[in-house]
Amino acid sequence: MACPSYLMFDNAAYLADMTFELPCNCKPDTVSSVVWYFQKNMGGHETSVLTDFSGTVVVDSGHVRSGSSMLNRFSIRMFSLIVFRAQEKDSGHYLCGTERGDYFYGYDVDVQPTWRIVVAFVDRGQHVQDDTTEDVLNLFTTFWDWTRCDRCGVRGEQRRIGLCYLQSALLHPRYRTAVPNVTSCGSGAVPWHLRPRSHLRRPEVVIRSCLTSCQKKEVPKEGVQTISNIISKMGEKPWVPRVPTQFHKQPVGTKLILGCPGARPEHAVAWDKNSIRLYRSRFLIGVNSTMRIFIDHGNQLHIQRVKITDRGTYFCWREGTMVAGFRLSVFYRRWRRRTLYDPETTYAANIIGKSYLIIGAVFVAIHLGCCCWRRCRRRAAT
């Protein structure tokens, strides 16, 4: 497409931990490689150059860690910028141009955080947030389509992600939106005096139960099936799903994070431990503040302070199909020198500190009670 004579910024909103792609929609035919620039605030003095000046930066998304610097989480392929596992700090302006500083196309990216997300379970009768109407702006949620059922053949769950948007006639004219006067809540088009109010609304996710049938697979011939049944009845090992399985050993007391191969935060992902379904209605992060095992909004399974009872096989479903298994073995580590930053040391210090505070509070309360009782007796005696 022809480049605009006046640089505009297309608005795009995502949820944290998602991967997004920004195509360079226009450039002169004489330009063989592009340079991407990142600027937090329009007109700011700090600008990051996202390129190796060859347009050939390639990052393996499987080795990208959440929370790492954006300079380690981007890739340029066919003039498009790809940012892996985007974080809230990645919100800002992205410009496609040349090494000399000529700009062709711009984006206004709004990455909304998951730690502030509102969760609504339809099966429990919970509802989404109501729209907010004020004098100069309207706040509402724009929902994506429902994901596919994350399991098949058994009860599964569906998610629907909603991002915060607002409508106002005071938006900056340099920002281009799909609907006139409507942009995401964290967009640079929102005037500064309206931003505190736009941040009051949070993104949300809706979860409901679902049931779908599995795709039919080739059934073994009758003779083969009969032999298989006889073998299983003769005391052989129980049936295990035929999915690629990874074996992993984890020491007791440490933290473990499992990710589903090939899955993204917007995909329908589910987790099972052996034959136990780990439903989000019980294991989603934030449902219970004391949870040791939980699923985050990026579809990763977290196991805090691993115990011997956590050993077993964890199965991962992606888009309604079981795709992988993780055989977890737990062991006790040999003696080693502890540091103040070890999770075990931090946990022990926290428990000991709370115990001393409770004992101290009980001690003081007992002495105060004794003093009050003695005074009352003296007054009664006099």
Per-residue model confidence (pLDDT) at position 9: 92
**Backbone Cα Rg of the chain:** 28
Per-residue model confidence (pLDDT) at position 219: 56
Q: In whole angstroms, what is the distance from residue 172 CA to residue 72 CA? A: 32
Per-residue model confidence (pLDDT) at position 40: 87
Per-residue model confidence (pLDDT) at position 70: 55
- Type of residue found at 40: K
Per-residue model confidence (pLDDT) at position 220: 54
Burial of residue 53 (CB within 10 Å: 0-12, 13-18, 19+) is exposed
Q: In whole angstroms, what is the distance from residue 346 CA to residue 369 CA? A: 34
Q: Which residues of the chain are under the pLDDT cut of 50? A: 54-64
128 token code pair: 């989404």
Please count the CA atoms within 13 angstroms of the CA of 176 that sit on its side-chain side: 9
49 token code pair: 């150059």
Name the β-bridge partners of 49.
37
**The pTM is what?**
0.72
- Where do the domains of the chain lie, and which CATH numbers do they carry? 9-112 (2.60.40.10), 118-211 (no CATH), 241-331 (2.60.40.10)
Burial of residue 36 (CB within 10 Å: 0-12, 13-18, 19+) is buried
Query: What region does 104 belong to: left with phi over 0, alpha with psi -120 to 50, or beta?
Result: alpha
Digit-coded pLDDT (tens) for 266-314? 899 999 999 999 999 999 988 887 889 999 998 999 999 999 999 999 9
Instruction: Classify residue 284 by its DSSP letter.
Output: B
Instruction: Classify residue 16 by its DSSP letter.
Output: T
Q: In whole angstroms, what is the distance from residue 168 CA to residue 189 CA? A: 10
Name the β-bridge partners of 162.
143, 204
Per-residue model confidence (pLDDT) at position 17: 86
Return contacts of 113-118, CB within 8 angstroms, 24+ apart: 113/16, 113/88, 113/203, 114/15, 114/16, 114/17, 114/203, 114/296, 114/297, 114/298, 116/202, 116/203, 117/15, 117/202, 117/203, 117/204, 117/205, 117/297, 118/202, 118/203, 118/204, 118/205
Residue 377 is inside which H or E element, if any?
A: helix 343-381
Per-residue model confidence (pLDDT) at position 335: 67
Per-residue model confidence (pLDDT) at position 57: 44
